[in-house]
Amino acid sequence: MLHEFASLVTYQWFALASGSRLAAAVEFFVYDTIKIFLLLSVIIFAVSVIRSYFPPERTKKILSHKREFIGNILAALLGIVTPFCSCSAVPLFIGFVEAGVPLGVTFSFLISSPMINEVAVVLLWGLFGWKIAAIYLGTGLLVAVIAGFIIGRLKLEKWVEEYVYKIRLGEGQEIAKQVFRDRLQYAKENTVDILKRVWLYIFVAIGIGGVIHGYVPQDFLLKYAGPQNPFAVPIAVALGVPLYSNAAGVIPIVYALMEKGLSTGTVLAFMMAVTALSLPEVIILKKVLKVPLLAVFVGIMTVTIIAVGYLFNAIL
């Protein structure tokens, strides 16, 4: 049905000649744009309804009695559905530690939360198919579980700022109980909020896709970052870290890189480096972590992300 609508717009409304380059581009643009916005609306809405059941206070409670490993897996999963703004990272961290959530489990949560993003999942799905989206989701979870587990094993509690352990929380106040209609309302507001923030990036991504598709030569980037360069993955990660962006902002770049024929693993690694290893996040965490622990965190993340990149270049 979407295909028919795209053809209708292209050939009837714009009256473009069938078979021309422009017509193909317009049809592609209309089809992809509608498909992605539909997917986004439905999936963000659904994720938001799930999110309304997992405010940070509840997440903290769920994780407080969990052992390592199972705890890491659960934390990584909850990281996807627990809503929080990046400036809440410090209160969240303190709250988790206070509640007795193991350090490694806390990290699994803090890693998966920015890295696995429902907007990114939708865009990857819409632009490259569900397999790539599933791989992104799966590897994101894997990185969060493994990196958190290693940090937990290293017993680095002494490198958490002392004041974190001294803070005693107030009872904490729960916001009044929600009925299902409140959850739907929350989901609606959240969907509109996110769409408002990302729509431009999406148009840019789809636009870039169209232009590159037709006009830019293939070999420029391939020469430096193509499959035959064994250092492509670490280079992509090194470039990704200082680039601060959310998942939506990175999509146009990812789209361009994929279109240019870069290997999937290289692009995934780049994307994870941008979203999960951002400088502002590290600066925020500096308030609760001493430098050695920060360094370990960044180091382990870098190594795991690079490993994921190589892994996918090898199997895809």
Partner 1 sequence: MEIKVLGPGCANCHTMEQLTLAAVKELGIEARIEKISDIQEIMKYTMSTPGLVINGKLKHSGKPLPSLEKVKDLIKAEA
Q: What is the smallest separation between the CB atom of 105 and partner 1, expressed in angstroms?
A: 16
Residue 11 vs 199, nearer CB to partner 1: 199
Question: How many residues belong to the site for partner 1 (CB under 8 A)?
Answer: 27
Verify binding: residue 88, partner 1, rule CB under 8 A: yes
193 binds partner 1 per the rule CB under 8 A: yes
Please give the Cα distance from 8 to 10 (Å, whole number).
Answer: 6
Nearer to partner 1 among residue 19 and residue 172 (C-beta): 172
Residue 105: CA atoms inside 13 Å, Cβ hemisphere, count?
Answer: 25
Q: Enumerate the β-bridge partners of residue 289.
A: 160
216 sits near partner 1 (criterion: CB under 8 A): no
CA distances from 162 to 72, 96, 154, 262, 292 (A): 24, 15, 18, 45, 14
Q: Which amino acid is at 294?
A: L
Taking the least distance from each CB to partner 1, the nearer of 170 and 230 is 170
> Residue 160: what are its φ and ψ, rounded to 5°?
-90, 140
The single residue listed with the structure tokens 């295909």 is: 3
* 95 part of the interface to partner 1, by CB under 8 A: yes
Nearer to partner 1, 170 or 217 (CB): 170
Nearer to partner 1, 113 or 139 (CB): 113
| Structural Rg of the chain based on CA atoms | 21
CB of 63 to partner 1, least distance (A): 13
For partner 1, the closer CB: 175 or 315:
175
CA distance 9 to 16: 9
Which tokens is 222 given?
């391939």
Match 């146009």 to its residue by tokens.
252
Distance CA 213, CA 256 (A): 9
Return the residues of window 277-306 that contact partner 1 according to CB under 8 A.
287
- Do 161 and 97 touch, CB atoms closer than 8 A? no
Q: Which of residues 64-83 bind partner 1 (CB under 8 A)?
A: 83
Distance in Å, CB of 130 to partner 1, minimum: 28
Residue 158 gets which letter from DSSP? G
Considering only residues 127 through 186, tell me which ones interact with partner 1, judged by CB under 8 A: 167, 169-170, 172-175, 186
Instruction: Return the residues of window 26-65 that contact partner 1 according to CB under 8 A.
Output: 55-57, 60
Q: Does 207 bind partner 1 (CB under 8 A)?
A: no
Applying CB under 8 A, the span of 188-196, 217-225, 241-249, 269-277 interacting with partner 1 comes to 188-196
Indicate which single residue of 72, 112, 113, 190 sits in contact with partner 1 (rule: CB under 8 A).
190
Tell me the C-alpha to C-alpha distance, in Å, between residue 10 and each of 7, 33, 52. Answer: 5, 13, 40
86 binds partner 1 per the rule CB under 8 A: yes
d(CA 60, CA 84): 13
* Number of Cβ within a 10 Å radius of residue 123: 28
Site for partner 1 contains 92 (CB under 8 A)? yes
- At closest approach, how far in Å is the CB of 161 from partner 1? 11
Smallest distance from partner 1 to CB 136, Å: 23
Closest CA to 124 of 252, 28, 227, 233: 252
Pick 115 or 257: Cβ nearer partner 1: 115
Binding site for partner 1 (CB under 8 A): 55-57, 60, 83-88, 90-92, 94-95, 167, 169-170, 172-175, 186, 189-190, 193, 287
